Amino acid sequence: MATTAPSDFAVHKPPAKYVIKSPSVVLYGSVEVGIAPSWQDKLAASLSSLPIAVLNPLREDWDKTWIEDISFPKFREQVEWEMDCAKVADIIAFYFGPGSLAPISLLELGMYAATGKVVVCCHPNYEKKGNIQMVCLRYGIPLVAELGKLEELIRERFQRILKPTNIG
């Protein structure tokens, strides 16, 4: 018997504007363009049974010729979209995979490490693994080495967020 995503599960990608009506997770990390399916899509699909919003910054129409400067409208739109996601998300999830330094994701990890919302997956062969380990140790951030374990961390966090509370 096939299962379907709950009607309140949603995936949002840039440049689309969004309104978050449910608990949410933003996915930051290594971008491996041309490898399908992406880790972001796999992770989002694995969470589709939850009544949540997944904020996936991977922009399908990204053009490598775009100028990475605040004066370039599409670049600015993308970066603002990503930064806005971190503000509204209940969970900020990172994946650092092999073969990609992911310098922007390293920057984002530093920006959000102290929020208490971060969970991290760092592949054992990620070149800057030691830096990730140090940041996670310093800020008490959960750190795992496999995407399946990252999914578990996210599900555990959502169980606490979604858990109904009895008053009285």
Model confidence pLDDT, tens digit, residues 80-116? 999 999 999 999 999 999 988 999 999 999 999 999 9
Q: What is the mean pLDDT of residues 11-24?
A: 92
Confidence of residue 2 (pLDDT cuts 50, 70, 90): very low
CB 136 within 8 A of CB 128: no
pLDDT recorded at residue 109: 98
pTM of structure: 0.91
The strand ranges marked E within 19-150 are: 24-29, 53-55, 91-96, 118-122, 143-144
CATH of domain 10-60+71-162: 3.40.50.450
Asked if the model's pLDDT at residue 148 lies above 50, the reply is yes
Distances (CA, A) of 129 to 36, 136, 141, 152, 154: 24, 11, 14, 21, 21
pLDDT recorded at residue 168: 55
CA–centroid distance for 120 within its chain: 9
The dihedral of CA 67, 94, 134, 98: what is its sign?
negative
Terminal C-alpha separation, the chain: 40
Distances (CA, A) of 42 to 106, 111, 120, 129: 22, 25, 16, 22
* Residue 49: DSSP 8-state: T
Cα–Cα distance between 27 and 40 in angstroms, integer?
7
